Amino acid sequence: MGGTRKAVGTVRKLGIEGGVWALITDSGETIELLGAPEALLSDGCRAEVELDAKSADVTIGMTGASGRVKSFKIV
C-alpha cells in the first residue's frame, strides 16, 4: 500500500500487543489504523477511511498494512 487511499470496512480492536485498532475492509484486508481520532475508535462501527500510507510507521501490531488516518466518515 503506498500513497493515499480510501477503504470501507468495519473498525475492530484486535487483541494484539494490548490492543490494536484496525479496519477490516469489505474485501477482507486488515489495515492497522494509526493516529485514529477517538470518534472512529468504536469496535464494530462501519466507516469509510482515507489513509496515508506514505507516513505509516512500522508497528508491532503485525496486522499487515497500516495507514495514518487522514479523514473518516461513519457509514
What pLDDT does residue 61 have? 59
Cell of 72: 473518516
Residue-by-residue DSSP string for 16-33: STT-EEEEEETTS-EEEE
Residue 45 CA to residue 40 CA, distance in Å, equals: 8
What pLDDT does residue 65 have? 84
What pLDDT does residue 40 have? 98
User: pLDDT by residue (tens digit) across 5-61?
Assistant: 999 999 999 987 678 999 999 999 999 999 999 999 999 999 999 999 765 556 665
User: What's the CATH number of domain 4-74, 2.40.50.140, 3.40.50.1220, 3.40.50.12780, 3.50.50.60?
Assistant: 2.40.50.140
- Can you give the residue ranges of every domain in the chain? 4-74
What pLDDT does residue 11 have? 98
